[in-house]
C-alpha cells in the first residue's frame, strides 16, 4: 500500500473521531474542520512509509490543535482576548497524549448529542449529523434525502450558527435529560449504521468503519441509558452486520440475502443480537427498533433461505407500519409479501408507492418493481424499471448488479 493510500485509509478510519475531539478542544465546528484538514495536509507532507505514527489519531489531533492555535495567533487584528483563547487551547506544559478513553461520554457520543440538540431543527439535525458524524458530502446527503444540495448546505450552516449563538454545550446531557433526547440520537446512530451497512455511493457495498462506529456508539448509549429501544437498535445493527462478509463475493459484487453463504455469517454477533432482540420485544411498550430487530432476527434464525418465516415477517411489518408509517417500510414489506403471496401482489403495492415523489426517486423501489416484473416474465417492463433504477443508483456494486440483471433479460429476449 502506498503512503497516499495509507493516509486515505487513516482518513476513512479516524477523521470523524479526530474531528469530534478537535471540536471539544477548540470549541467550534468550523475551526475544528479547518484544523482537521490542516492536520491531514501536514501528515501528507511530513509522514513517510517508515515514519507513520503508531497512534495516528493522537498525532492528527495534536497537529490539528497546533495549527488552530497558529491561525489564531497569526491574525493581524488579534487582541488580548484572542491570545487568551489560544493559550487556553494549549496550556503551557501540557502533553498531547490521547489515552484510551474509559469514560462513557466519549467525543463521538458528545458530537451526536450536540448535533441532535432540541434547539436545532430536526431536518438540520439529520443533515449535520450525516456531515459531521459520517463525513458525507452535501451532495451525498442531498441524494439520500432527495433534496437540492444547496438546501442541505444551508441547513448545516444554520445549525452551526444556532450552536454558536445559543452556546449549545458539547456534552452528553445528564441522565434526567437523556430520555427526551433519545429518539433523535437513536435515529442518528441508525443513519450512521445504514451508511456503513449499505453505502449511498462509492466503490464498495459497506463502509465497515462507520458500521463499527455506530455499533460502538450503541453499546455506549446502552451503558448510559438501559432502554428497550436502545437494545432494539443495537440488536438490529449486530444482526445486520453479522452478514457483512457474505454480502459481496470475491470480486466485490453484491450477493443477495437468499444467495449468501450463511457459514460466513458472524454467529457471535447473531447470538448477542438475538438476546438483545428478545429483551427489547419482551419489554413494556414494544417500539419501532424492537420490531425491526425482530424482523432481522427472523432472517438470522433461518438456517437456509427456504427456512425463513416470511408470514411472520409480514406480520411484524404490519405492526411496524402501525407504529411508524413509512413508504420505505412499505417497500420492505412488499418484498416479504412477494415471498408469501407472489410477485403480482407485491407489484401492486410497489406501483402504488411509486406514486409518491420520494419513492419515485428511490432506486431500490424501481429495482424491486423490476424484479417482480421479471418474475412475472413481463420482460420489457422489467427492463425499463431496471434502467430507471440504474439511472438513480450511485453505488458501484449495486450498479453492477443492475447491469447484470439487464444483461440476463437481454439474453432471454434473444432466445
pLDDT tens, position by position, 191-223? 889 988 988 777 888 888 889 989 999 998 998
Long-range contacts for 138-143 (Cβ within 8 Å, ≥24 apart)? Answer: 140/200, 140/201, 140/394, 143/200, 143/201, 143/394
Q: Is residue 407 part of a domain?
A: yes
Q: Is residue 182 part of a domain?
A: no
Q: Between the CA of residue 106 and those of 164, 198, 333, what are the distances in Å? A: 21, 26, 37
Q: What is the pLDDT of residue 371?
A: 97
Q: Backbone phi, then psi, for 147, in 5-degree steps?
A: -135, 165
Q: Is residue 348 part of a domain?
A: yes
Q: What is the DSSP letter of 54?
A: S
pLDDT of 362 > 50? The answer is: yes
Which of 58, 89, 120 is at the close of a domain? 89
Q: Is residue 307 part of a domain?
A: no
pLDDT of 44 > 60? The answer is: yes
For helices 80-89 and 56-74, angle between their N-to-C axes, nearest 10 degrees: 170
Q: Is residue 295 part of a domain?
A: no
CB half-sphere exposure, 144, CA atoms < 13 A:
22
Q: What's 378's domain CATH number?
A: 1.25.40
Q: What is the mean pLDDT of residues 82-110?
A: 54
Q: Is residue 134 part of a domain?
A: no
Q: What is the pLDDT of residue 47?
A: 93
Cα–Cα dist 47/58, whole Å: 14
Number of domains in the chain: 2
For 47, the domain range is 3-89
pTM over 0.75: yes
pLDDT tens, position by position, 219-246? 989 988 899 999 999 999 999 999 999 9
Which residues, listed in sequence order, are joined to residue 254 by a DSSP beta bridge? 248
Q: Is residue 266 part of a domain?
A: no
User: Do 105 and 21 meet the contact criterion of CB atoms below 8 Å apart?
Assistant: no
Which of 89, 105, 134 is at the close of a domain? 89
pLDDT of 95 > 70? The answer is: no
Percent of the chain with pLDDT over 90: 57
Q: Backbone phi, then psi, for 119, in 5-degree steps?
A: -75, -15
Which of 89, 109, 141 is at the close of a domain? 89
Q: Is residue 14 part of a domain?
A: yes
Which residues, listed in sequence order, are joined to residue 395 by a DSSP beta bridge? 202
Amino acid at each position: 500500500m502506498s503512503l497516499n493510500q495509507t493516509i486515505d485509509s487513516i482518513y476513512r478510519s479516524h477523521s470523524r473521531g479526530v474531528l469530534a475531539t478537535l471540536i471539544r478542544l477548540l470549541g467550534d465546528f468550523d475551526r475544528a474542520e479547518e484544523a482537521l484538514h490542516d492536520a491531514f495536509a501536514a501528515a501528507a507532507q511530513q509522514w513517510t512509509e517508515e515514519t507513520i505514527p503508531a497512534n495516528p489519531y493522537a498525532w492528527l489531533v495534536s497537529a490539528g490543535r497546533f495549527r488552530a492555535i497558529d491561525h489564531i495567533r497569526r491574525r493581524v487584528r488579534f487582541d488580548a482576548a484572542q491570545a487568551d483563547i489560544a493559550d487556553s487551547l494549549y496550556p503551557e506544559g501540557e502533553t498531547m497524549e490521547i489515552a484510551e478513553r474509559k469514560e462513557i461520554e466519549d467525543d463521538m457520543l458528545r458530537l451526536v448529542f450536540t448535533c441532535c440538540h432540541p434547539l436545532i431543527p430536526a431536518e438540520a439535525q439529520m443533515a449535520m449529523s450525516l456531515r459531521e458524524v459520517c463525513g458525507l458530502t452535501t451532495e451525498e446527503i442531498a441524494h439520500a434525502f432527495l433534496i437540492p444540495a444547496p438546501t442541505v448546505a444551508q441547513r448545516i450552516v444554520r445549525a452551526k450558527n444556532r450552536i454558536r449563538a445559543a452556546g449549545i454545550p458539547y456534552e452528553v446531557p445528564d441522565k434526567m435529560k437523556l430520555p427526551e433526547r433519545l429518539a433523535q440520537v437513536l435515529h442518528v446512530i441508525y443513519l450512521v449504521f445504514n451508511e456503513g451497512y449499505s453505502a449511498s455511493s462509492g466503490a464498495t457495498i459497506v463502509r465497515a468503519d462507520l458500521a463499527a462506529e455506530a455499533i460502538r456508539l450503541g453499546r455506549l448509549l446502552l451503558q448510559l441509558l438501559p432502554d428497550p429501544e436502545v437494545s432494539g437498535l443495537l440488536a438490529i445493527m449486530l444482526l445486520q452486520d453479522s452478514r457483512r462478509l457474505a454480502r459481496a463475493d470475491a470480486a466485490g459484487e453484491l450477493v443477495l440475502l437468499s444467495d449468501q453463504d450463511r457459514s460466513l455469517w458472524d454467529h457471535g454477533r447473531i447470538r448477542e443480537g438475538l438476546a438483545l432482540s428478545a429483551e427489547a420485544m419482551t419489554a413494556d411498550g414494544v417500539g419501532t427498533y424492537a420490531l425491526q430487530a425482530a424482523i432481522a432476527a427472523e432472517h438470522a434464525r433461518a438456517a437456509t433461505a427456504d427456512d425463513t418465516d416470511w408470514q411472520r415477517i409480514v406480520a411484524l411489518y404490519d405492526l411496524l407500519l402501525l407504529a411508524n408509517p413509512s413508504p420505505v417500510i412499505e417497500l420492505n414489506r412488499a418484498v416479504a409479501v412477494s415471498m408469501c403471496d407472489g410477485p403480482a401482489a407485491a407489484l401492486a403495492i410497489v406501483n402504488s408507492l411509486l406514486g409518491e415523489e420520494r419513492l419515485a426517486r428511490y432506486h431500490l423501489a424501481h429495482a424491486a418493481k423490476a424484479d417482480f416484473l421479471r418474475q412475472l416474465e413481463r420482460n420489457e417492463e422489467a427492463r425499463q424499471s431496471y434502467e430507471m433504477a440504474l439511472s438513480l443508483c450511485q453505488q458501484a456494486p449495486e450498479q453492477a448488479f443492475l447491469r447484470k440483471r439487464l444483461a440476463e433479460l437481454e439474453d432471454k429476449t434473444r432466445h
